[in-house]
Amino acid sequence: MMKLDVLAFAAHPDDTELSCAGTLAALAEQGLAVGVVDLTRGEMGSRGNPKLRLKEAQQAAEVIGLSVRDNLGLPDTELANSRENQLPIIQSIRTYRPHICIITAPEDRHPDHGHATKLLTDAIFYSGLVKIETQGDNRHPQNPHRPAHVLHYMQDTPFEPDFIFDITDTISIKEKAIQAFSSQFNVADPGEEPETYISDPSFFEALRARAKQMGHLGGFEYGEGFLYQKKPFPAKDFSFLMATTPKR
């Protein structure tokens, strides 16, 4: 199983597309191995079905350039912070051994997002404990692993970000990845399924406005905002500053 540089987790298929797909696409273009693990199949969503959403997620993964796209099949709307739900996450972390994990927002409009954050935060910590035993797909015991950095992406509820990632060159990839979820977004004709908050085309317009606002804050044309989980942000050199020339 390949090692990933960056592993993003989502409560539902399409959460990472909405929140950090521009960043993931940029990192993949830079040569990093990037993956996404969705906790649920989104089976409680008003539109679409689990089979269709899994297909859409794989299409979006190809657009972004992901090395891995997995789904743990945890129960949608029931993301309790239990050992039963933690173990599949721990197995994923120990399988892919990422240097960076990007996870759901600390709190959000959708209860699953906040619940996922509590579940993921604990599972990420526990993945480093040797006495919590897990097995890989080959049935061999897995070694403990804890990511060096954990970030939160922004979802529906805005927060003051610790940093903005420039997605000016990848916003078109982000939007194409979102459009891969054709059952969920930018639906001009809802058909027999109910129209939802996110299916209305005006919601898709709001996503670009959010990226424009985040870009403005960061001094870029378009951006995505992140929180660094355990402050302060560590630095060994100023390469992250030398690499950017924001206009602000």
Strands 68-74 and 100-103 turn out to be unpaired
Mean pLDDT check: name the lowest of 38-47, 132-141, 236-245. Answer: 38-47
Chain-centre distance for alpha carbon 41: 14
Residue 183 pLDDT class (50, 70, 90 cuts): confident
DSSP-derived 3-state class of residue 166 = strand
For the chain, give the percent of residues with pLDDT over 70. 92
Residue 13 has pLDDT above 70, yes or no: yes
Contact 230, 150 (CB under 8 A): yes
d(Cα 126, Cα 60) in Å, to the nearest integer?
Answer: 30
Give the pLDDT score at 246: 92
Q: What are phi and psi of 68, to 5 degrees?
A: -145, 140
Average pLDDT of span 155-162:
96
| Backbone φ/ψ region at 173: left (φ over 0), alpha (ψ -120 to 50), beta | alpha
Average pLDDT of span 125-146:
95
Chain-centre distance for alpha carbon 125: 18
Domains and CATH numbers, the chain: 6-231 (3.40.50.10320)
In tens, the pLDDT along 216-235 reads: 999 999 999 999 999 999 99
Q: What are phi and psi of 164, to 5 degrees?
A: -115, 130
